[in-house]
Structure 1
Amino acid sequence: MGQTDHSADPAASGQAASRHTPEQIRLQAVLCAARFHGMALDVRDFIAATDESSPSIPVLMRWVEENGGTARGLHLHWRALVRMRDMPPVVLMFADGSAGLMVGADEARGVVWLADPFASPDAAPVAVNELRLRGVWTGAVLLVRGARAGTVVEPPVDFAWLRGLVLGERRLLRDVVIASMAISILAVFPPLIVMQVIDRVVNFHSMATLVSLTGLVGVMAFYEILLTHARREITLVLTTRLDTRISLAVFDRLLALPLEFFEREQAGNVIGRVGAIYRVRQFMTGRLLNTFLDLFTLLVVLPFLFWLSLPLAWMTLAAAGLIGAVIVVAMPAMARLVARQVRAEMDRSAALHETVAGIRTVKTLALEPVRREVWDEKTASVVAASLDAGRMGNWVATAVMPLDLFINRGIILVGAYLAITATTSGLEAGALMAFAMLGGRVAAPLVSMARLIDDLNEVRSALAEAGSVLNRPTETRALTTGLRPPISGALSFADVGFTYPGAAAPALSDITFSVPAGTMLGLVGRSGSGKSTITRLLQGVSRGYTGHLRLDGVDLREINLTYLRRSCGVVLQDNFLFRGTIRDNIIAGRPGLTLEDVVRAARLAGAEEFIERMPAGYDTWIEEGSTNISGGQRQRLAIARAVISDPRLLILDEATSALDPESEAVVNANLRHLAHGRTMVIVSHRLASLVDCNRICVLDRGHVVDIGTHAELLARCDLYRTLWMQQNRLHETGGDDEPPPPVPHECGDAA
């Protein structure tokens, strides 16, 4: 088995190692495994961690799962690997950062068959034996599976969801429980030793007993310190992992929400509500965890209290029970006040976010007094709510304070009275001291459990606020499932209608037209005619339309949403650039592209000339809000970002309306280059920028009025001709200020 003539070095299984980097080989291996299951991954979409030279298994798993598949990382031995003969392609991780694609195994011969990820499907795999594979294989494998069957079901963000995240850390929870039980047992011995010191050492002046107890105390103290440190370390890791899991899950859910939701909701309000989830995290990793750990002390110490003094034990339990009863009675009122405080704080946070986001408008219009008045009102509401909640809590604390003092101080006095008055089997001084030391350990967990119920109200309110955002319908299924057909750019609208939620009239009605791939299509019409709504439908932003909208003959709702948006370039009137370099912004959607791709896109967008004049070129830093570049430069960078992935469908929605004439001329001059080989949909109020379009669709009140070339529309469409004359009347009439003719509501038949 494993003879030389039947095996080969996996590093020499092909020439890919010499032509590609280890990272490229690893990505290609995963891509081939995914292709076997019908998933079309794109290496250009891969986003790796910045501190990794080669993508790790968790990063690769996330890449596969974001595209609708499933993946699992394992660590196997040779015996398990060689038995996987009937498995689909398995990705083997190599020590140099590359990977191999195992396509078969032969346990009898002791070899596995590796395929070159970059080779053609017809290329023969290479047999590799255990000795040669061990030299390069780390033992890690990645199993890739196809798309999940059935509907993607996302659990609601509630206590059950949080419990699932916590139970995902079973091993750490187990270690914390074991350490807590050991510490609780050790906590019983110091009071018992104190009892022996008072009753045996002090009363009988026994030096030998004192030495023995001192040694015992030292040994127990050493183990208690060691266990306490271990528990703190494990608890720290546990809380950190829970915080990470909650943060990642919340952010993923937030990103999966549709754009329509963010357009309807105030950004500051959304941030405030989502931020409330961290109150829940603090509760789970703070008070809840500490109370849970203190319960072990209660279960261990309580029997010793009853053994030391039955009357004092019952008194301690009764006082702690009364504290819990007071808190439970005050709980409904506290819940209302805390919920009011949470809402007031969210409203104030929303006002702060709105002011910071619109600070340019605030400064230019001198709105500081107005925003200050709004902030004062929100702050006054927060202060009033906090004061009411604080006063209620103060009354509760005052009501339970006598009972707390009785547990910590009164028990000693009662115990002393019992020790003095008892005739037989009286409570000795050592036992009284031991009971006082252990009594505090019992009362604290009981009081914490009572206050835990109070904290649940705040947590419930915070979780409800976060759930009001995170439990809304998401685009997860559309983003991870659906068809990925080759896109050329042919568009077909058949009786398409759409109405925005809450709107009285439809935005689109019976839209019917079609254009072949490679068409430069202009959309014109007065404000509110439905131009931008059509572009939203093409991007998959709004999917609740009626009728049929097809892209290359495929219904748009059946296409994978991520694939659709990455195949579609979009430039808006006001484009957002991230804080970072020019290069980072241009390749934001395709981080796997090179500088050559960036330069090509910048050249197409007419941005190359001003980028090269900058001191750092493509590494020039763009500040927040793009304050260090002009509006025309920002727009051209947005166009470069849209075309860098070479989309078959390019949408320009009022992309030049905010530009100065010089910048607009530069952008329009590049439209012909941008339109080569792709379909372009251009929305513009300036009809002069649409003259060269192959087809121009005229819209009015959500209906298609006419469609044709510029010359055809001037000849037969009164609405288009009127709009054209309104924009060009000074040039046409030589300065005549006569008002334009009334705009008719009907035009020629739509083609």
Structure 2
Amino acid sequence: MESNSAERSSVQRISPVHIRLYAVMAAARYHGIELDIRDFAAEPGESSPSPATLVRWLRDFGAVAKGMRLRWRYLVKLGYTPPVVLLFRDGSAGLLVRTDPEKGIVWLRDPLKGEGEPPVPIDELRLMQLWTGDIVLIKRRSDESEADANFDFHWFAKMVLREKQGLRDIVFSSMILSVLGLFPAMIVMQVVDRVVNYHSMATLVSLTGFVVILSLYEVLLTYARQELTLVVTTRLDARISLHAFNRLLALPLEFYERQQAGEVLGRFNSIFKVRDFMTGQVLNTLLDMFMLLVVMPVLFYMSSTLAWLTLVSAGAIGLIVVIMLPVVSRVAGKMVRAEMQRGATLYETVAGIRTVKTLALENTRRAEWDNRTAVVIHWRLASQRLANWVSTMVQPLNMFINRGIILVGAYLVLTDSSSMQGGALMAFMMLGGRVASPLVSLAKIMESLNEVTVSLGEAGEVLNQPTETYALTHGMRPPIKGALSFSNINFTYPGASTRALSEVNFDIPAGTMLGLVGRSGSGKSTITRLLQGVSRDYQGYLRLDGVDLREINLHYLRRSFGVVLQDNFLFRGTIHDNITAGRPGLTLDDVIRAARLAGAEEFIERMPAGYETWIEEGSTNISGGQRQRLAIARAVISDPKLMILDEATSALDPESEALVNANLKNLAKGRTMVIVSHRLSSLVDCDQIAVMEQGRAIDIAPHTVLLERCDVYRTLWLQQNRHLEQTAQPPQALNSTDARSSGDPGQKVEQERPGGGGQN
């Protein structure tokens, strides 16, 4: 009875807003999507999450969601359905699991209870007293194959075809405009042949009214088509940009460590050239092709001779472009690569400007920029010269279409070899220009296709790399306590000839403070990489609370850890924003608690704006120690059960390091901590210290035990704390002790010379 009453009181304490969030989480869990309520960020001014806010939250974590308003008669016809979230007037929500249209009843399930709890039937009258009419539909992302497919022209074509409704309207309006485009030429023909030749004022008035009406329709249709085209291209632009950036985020850290940042950005930006080509030049040319389909039969009706001359001339232009295609493609490819290399130089210079200034490297960087620019100019000049050659070769044919056709037509009119009159010739010239323009544009598309193909290939070098998408969206989500077990762990970095870790075996219980020590390259940081899931191609078994790390959802795993590195990046924004960067839904009280744990509260409160103090780019307005303490606050705000500190204090001054180390005991309460440090003095209070040597864990024990039995640890300790040994010994023994501890032969020889024995 007591447990039941406690359970009821805990349920009563849950606010309607949280019930609404739990309903969304339960519906998403049905589709295999795990959400964390701490990740939810409410919109400013919202007392309870709106359907749009809930949909945004769901989409951020890979779900397909849609909020909509529905009437009862449509709701009751849903039948058996996956859980549908119904939003209630008090700010809470329920889960619709089944409906019965014949009885007029729907079944609702309490989101705070398990799936085994039977749903409750409710009729229209009772539901309408609670329900706002809003629902949230959720399903698992159906375009996973599209999101993981290679970025190529086939992928872009599928993206374009997803806008079927908009494209259909654009095609329909283009066909109408193509038909209307015939009338101006026909009217000119009538004006010349009927009005001018016969001086018919009545015909002129009639044609004038007809022209006004047609012009009005053409203006309206042109505006409508441009608006439709703008909407479709904007939607395509947004979808392509989102997919490309999501793919960039899904790439593993190992890829970024192997690639130059400037080249990654340059290749990624190449995708926007392809986007502009697909949504701009190609789309406009295809729309103009409708004019060709409509006008060509009319041209052949007017004069088959002139029509064939127009087609042959335009075809010759296309043939010249196709012949020059391979040469232009090679030069365009070299120009694109040269521009990317120059962009990489620019990025490196800006990113490392502090080093450039402090080491006076301006001349070196300027020389490299000059060389890169010279290469770009060389290939750009070559590309423009080729384009100039192609333009010069097609210019006579283009001039013939615009000027020669009228001369041939005039000859045909004068010789009476055709039934064409002067007005018909003028109409043919107006329509002939519209026919040649799409054909010339189509030829120019072939020319642009070379540069776009190269850009797509460069973007594919980045975006088509293997991603972590599957690991980030699949896997177990067990409750984490922090017990770690390493069993026969072997790991080799890609391209390396020797193992970074070799037969690593040790276990630590939950709540342990573990230190990792060893010489540079001994494998300390590699262990932390494996724990974070950065590298998963290891042999053996690495278990967290008895579960193999590779079976745990990677996103869930990383969100459950708190990681502090040697050099932590703070984003441009306020201190509050930086501390809550991983948990945007947390409150100011959570931020203050995290800052207090990290020892950052005292300097934050001294700042004029407190937690709203703006952090400049590169954290130039705060010290290194303050930056590290903010990073620690960012790591502990989610109350992780396992924290990793990888050389988190090595770059700090002694005062800041002492302050951070003093907080480690407070941070370690109730959680497992893995601390990597070259400074052994900061690890003295660790429960266990693992000593790494050439990729092996040669010993693990507390500090005092390692000093007695581990030669490697004792040597490292003496090297760092020699001054303590010297102050503890009498003055007469200092020299000999120094010589023995340092192992320096030169010093030993100098100690023996005063005695003179054994020198000869």
Q: Which category of TM-score, normalised to the shorter sequence, fits these structures? A: over 0.9
Distance 1:422 1:15, change over 3 A: farther
Structure-1 separation of matches of 2:44 and 2:257? 32
* Alignment match of 2:449 (pick from 452, 456, 481): 456
Q: Does 1:645 align with 2:641?
A: no
Shift of 1:51: 9.2
1:107 CA drift (Å): 3.2
Letter of the 2:323 partner, please give it. Answer: V
Gap change, CA 1:505 and 1:587, over 3 Å in 2:
same
- State how far apart, in whole Å, the 1-side matches of 2:581 and 2:120 are: 39
Partners in 2 of 1:236 and 1:149 — Cα distance? 25
Q: Verify: 1:326 aligned to 2:344, yes or no.
A: no
Matched, 1:505 2:480: no
Matches within 5 A, 1:46-61: 46-47=40-41, 60-61=54-55
Distance 1:539 1:644 in 2: 18
Change (3 A) 1:363 1:61: same
Cα displacement string for residues 205-232 of structure 1 (whole angstroms, at most 9, x for unaligned residues): 0000000000000000000000000001
Alpha-carbon spacing, 1:514–1:290, altered in 2? closer, same or farther (3 Å): same
Q: Indicate yes or no: 2:618 matched with 1:625.
A: yes
Partner of 1:366: 360
Deviations 1:458-507 (A, max 9, x none): 11111111111111110000000000111110100011011111111111
Among 385, 395, 415, the residue aligned to 2:389? 395
CA distance in 2, matches of 1:96, 1:155: 44
- CA shift, 1:27, in A, is 2.0
Q: Counterparts in 2 of 1:590-601, with a 5 A limit? A: 590-601=583-594
- TM-aligned CA deviation for residue 80 of structure 1: 3.5
Q: Which residue of 1 aligns with 2:406?
A: 412
Separation in 2, partners of 1:124, 1:515 = 43
Q: Secondary structure at the match of 1:433?
A: helix
Q: In the alignment, is residue 309 of structure 1 matched against residue 316 of structure 2?
A: no
Say yes or no: does 1:267 pair with 2:267. Answer: no
Normalising by structure 2, what TM-score?
0.91
CA distance in 1, matches of 2:456, 2:693: 46
Residues in 1 aligned to 2:205 and 2:30: alpha-carbon distance in whole angstroms: 74
**Separation in 2, partners of 1:54, 1:128:** 24
Question: Partner of 1:487 in structure 2?
Answer: 480
Q: Distance in 2 between matches of 1:272 and 1:194?
A: 52
User: Are residue 277 (structure 1) and residue 275 (structure 2) matched?
Assistant: no
Aligned residue in 2 for 1:580: 573
Residues 69, 147 of structure 1: 8 Å contact kept:
yes
Out of 200, 218, 226, which is 2:220 matched to? 226
- Distance in 2, Cα, partners of 1:353 & 1:468: 19
Unaligned runs of 5+ in 1: 1-13, 744-751
1:605 matched to 2:591? The reply is: no
Query: 1:685 is matched with which residue?
Result: 678
C-alpha separation in 1, matches of 2:13 and 2:202: 78
1:521 aligns with 2:514: yes
Using the TM superposition, give the Cα deviation of residue 164 of structure 1 relative to its aligned residue in structure 2, in angstroms. Answer: 1.1
Pairwise CA RMSD: 2.6
CA distance in 2 between partners of 1:85 and 1:544 (Å): 47
Query: Which position in structure 2 is the counterpart of 1:635?
Result: 628
User: Whole-Å Cα distance in 2 between the matches of residues 58 and 509 of structure 1?
Assistant: 51
Change (3 A) 1:278 1:524: same
Distance 2:366 2:145 in 1: 49
1:375 counterpart letter in structure 2:
W
Q: Secondary structure at the match of 1:670?
A: helix
Match of 2:705 in 1: 712
Counterparts of 1:174 and 1:555, CA distance in 2: 51
* Fraction of identical pairs, as percent: 64
1:746 — aligned with what?
none
Partner Cα separation in structure 2 for residue 675 and residue 160 of structure 1: 53
Distance 1:101 1:238, change over 3 A: same
Question: Once structures 1 and 2 are overlaid, which stretch shifts more, 274-283 or 44-53?
Answer: 44-53
In structure 2, what is the equivalent of residue 27 of structure 1?
21
Structure 1 residue 83: Cα displacement:
3.6
Look up the SS of the partner of 1:92 in the other structure.
Answer: strand
Q: Which amino acid counterpart does residue 153 of structure 2 have in structure 1?
A: F
State whether residues 17 and 25 of structure 1, in contact with CA within 8 Å, keep that contact through their aligned partners in structure 2: no
| Superposition pairs of residues 542-581 of structure 1, within 5 angstroms | 542-581=535-574
Correspondence 1:381 to 2:375:
yes
CA distance, structure 1, for counterparts of residue 648 and residue 427 of structure 2: 80
Amino acid in the other structure paired with 1:110: G
Q: Tell me: CA distance 1:49–1:237, structure 2 relative to 1, closer, same or farther (3 Å).
A: farther
CA distance in 1, matches of 2:74, 2:694: 67
Q: Secondary structure at the match of 2:586?
A: coil
Cα 1:120–1:410 shift into 2, 3 Å? closer
Judge conservation of contact 1:16–1:25 (CA < 8 Å) in 2.
no
Task: Give the letter for the 1:686 counterpart.
Answer: R
Q: Is the 8 A contact 2:68 2:136 kept in 1?
A: yes
Pick one of 435, 438, 462 that aligns with 1:445: 438
Instruction: Tell me if structure 2 keeps the 8 A contact 1:82–1:112.
Output: yes
- Which of 285, 288, 294 is the equivalent residue of 1:294? 288
Instruction: Give the direction of change, closer, same or farther, for the CA distance of 1:144–1:236 in structure 2 (3 Å limit).
Output: closer
Evaluate the alpha carbon distance shift between residue 196 and residue 94 of structure 1 in structure 2; reply closer, same or farther with a 3 A threshold: farther
Letter in 2 for 1:416: A
Contact 1:68/1:481 (<8 A) preserved: no
The partner residue of 1:729 within 693, 718, 722 is 722
What do the CA deviations read for 1:533-584 (whole angstroms, capped 9, x no partner)? 0000000000010111000110000000011001110000000000011111
Aligned counterparts, 1:136-151, within 5 A: 137=131, 139-145=133-139
What SS does structure 1 have at the residue aligned with 2:369? helix
Cα shift at 1:455: 1.4
- 1:193 aligned residue: 187
Counterpart of 2:490, as a letter, is: G
SS in 2 for 1:160: helix
How many Å separate the matches in 1 of 2:30 and 2:288?
Answer: 53
Q: Distance in 1 between matches of 2:683 and 2:114?
A: 46
User: Aligned equivalents of 1:108 and 1:163: distance in 2?
Assistant: 45
Corresponding residue for residue 177 of structure 1: 171
Distance 1:739 1:347 in 2: 54
Structure 2: distance between partners of 1:349 and 1:156: 25
- Post-superposition offset of 1:298: 0.3
The farther-off stretch of 39-48 and 243-252 is: 39-48
Against the structure 1 CA distance between its residues 152 and 395, is the aligned structure 2 distance closer, same or farther, given a 3 Å change threshold? closer
Alignment equivalent of 1:203, drawn from 197, 200, 204: 197
Q: Please show how residues 731-746 of structure 1 align to structure 2 within 5 Å.
A: 731-734=724-727, 738=739, 740-741=741-742
Q: CA deviation at 1:527?
A: 0.3
Residue 151 and residue 169 in structure 1: after superposition, are their counterparts in 2 closer, same or farther (change >3 A)? closer
CA distance in 2, matches of 1:120, 1:691: 47
**SS of the counterpart of 2:645?**
strand
Q: Distance in 1 between matches of 2:143 and 2:436?
A: 53
The CA deviation string for residues 263-282 of structure 1, in whole angstroms up to 9 with x for no partner, is 11011100100100100111
* 8 Å CA contact retained: 2:84, 2:136: yes
1:488–1:517 Cα contact (<8 Å) kept: yes
Distance of 1:242 and 1:135 partners within structure 2: 42
Distance (whole Å) between structure 1 residues aligned to residue 129 and residue 445 of structure 2: 56
Structure 1 residues 38 and 348: CA distance shift in structure 2, 3 A? closer
User: Aligned partners of 1:149, 1:286: CA distance in 2, in Å?
Assistant: 25
- Per-residue deviation, 1:242: 0.5
SS at match of 1:413: helix
What letter matches 2:327 in structure 1? A
